[in-house]
Chains A and B, each alone.
Chain A
Amino acid sequence: GENVEQHPSTLSVQEGDSAVIKCTYSDSASNYFPWYKQELGKRPQLIIDIRSNVGEKKDQRIAVTLNKTAKHFSLHITETQPEDSAVYFCAEPDNAGGTSYGKLTFGQGTILTVHP
């Protein structure tokens, strides 16, 4: 199976600051990297994803960057707002041999708190 390490486990920032969460993966064949956001008491929801044929993808205040050489991808949130407070998860599908086997491994999660 895959091994996904996510850091930090908690992150506290002031409103307006930037936040960065990093995930490291083990399978060099992996080529799809999603990020999910889970608000308190709610279900996880996809906020952004990236495929390995691009190095960066942006959607308003959030962006994901991918470094395939170092095998890590990061979530960047700029101009943070209190409503960004949530748990964020990275994920990596199993891609053994280039064929999807259906397994999906999530990182351990990062609790982001944005202070007003």
Chain B
Amino acid sequence: EAQVTQNPRYLITVTGKKLTVTCSQNMNHEYMSWYRQDPGLGLRQIYYSMNVEVTDKGDVPEGYKVSRKEKRNFPLILESPSPNQTSLYFCASSLSAYYNEQFFGPGTRLTVL
């Protein structure tokens, strides 16, 4: 089954404790992206990747890191989480960056205390 998976689905952590949210797709998509969703603010892009070893900042990259060592995986790293990073996070992938449907993962609900 073609899909985007994320893990964990739910995470409660404390300020400053490094964490990684994994994202994987099995559709051989070139483009992958991370978004955060907050009430009233819609979906805001954190980072995106046009292909392996190619990543770039979205609109809200501060406090996040990403890597794209393999085509299928695009982990999101929070080196020192803070409470303002409490949010719902979505990973997405598409065949390429433009003119293509974004396939979203199920989301990760992160709470930073």
Interface residues of A (CB under 8 A from B): 1, 6, 9, 32, 34, 36, 43-46, 49, 51, 89, 91, 93, 95, 100-109
* Least CB separation from B50: chain A residue: A102
Chain B: how many interface residues by the 8 Å CB criterion?
26
Partner of A44, one of B56, B59, B104: B104
Contacts of B41 in A (CB 8 A): 108
Give the number of residue pairs across the A-B interface with Cβ within 8 Å: 63
Contacts of A108 in B (CB 8 A): 40-42
Contacts of A51 in B (CB 8 A): 99
* Least CB separation from A45: chain B residue: B104
Task: Report whether A100 and B97 are in contact in the complex, using a CB–CB cutoff of 8 Å.
Answer: yes
Could you list 15 A-B pairs, sorted by A, with CB under 8 Å?
A32-B98, A32-B99, A43-B107, A44-B90, A45-B104, A51-B99, A93-B97, A102-B56, A103-B48, A103-B56, A104-B102, A105-B59, A106-B35, A106-B44, A109-B43
Interface residues of B (CB under 8 A from A): 31, 33, 35, 40-45, 48-50, 56, 58-59, 90, 96-99, 101-102, 104-107
Task: Report whether B104 and A106 are in contact in the complex, using a CB–CB cutoff of 8 Å.
Answer: no
The complex places the Cα of A106 from the Cα of B33 at a distance, in Å, of: 13
Task: Report whether A44 and B43 are in contact in the complex, using a CB–CB cutoff of 8 Å.
Answer: yes
* Least CB separation from B6: chain A residue: A43
Query: Do A102 and B44 form a contact, CB below 8 Å, given A43-B90, A44-B104?
Result: no
Query: Do A34 and B101 form a contact, CB below 8 Å, given A103-B59, A105-B59?
Result: yes
Shortest CB-to-CB span from A47 to chain B, Å, is 10
Task: Report whether A102 and B40 are in contact in the complex, using a CB–CB cutoff of 8 Å.
Answer: no
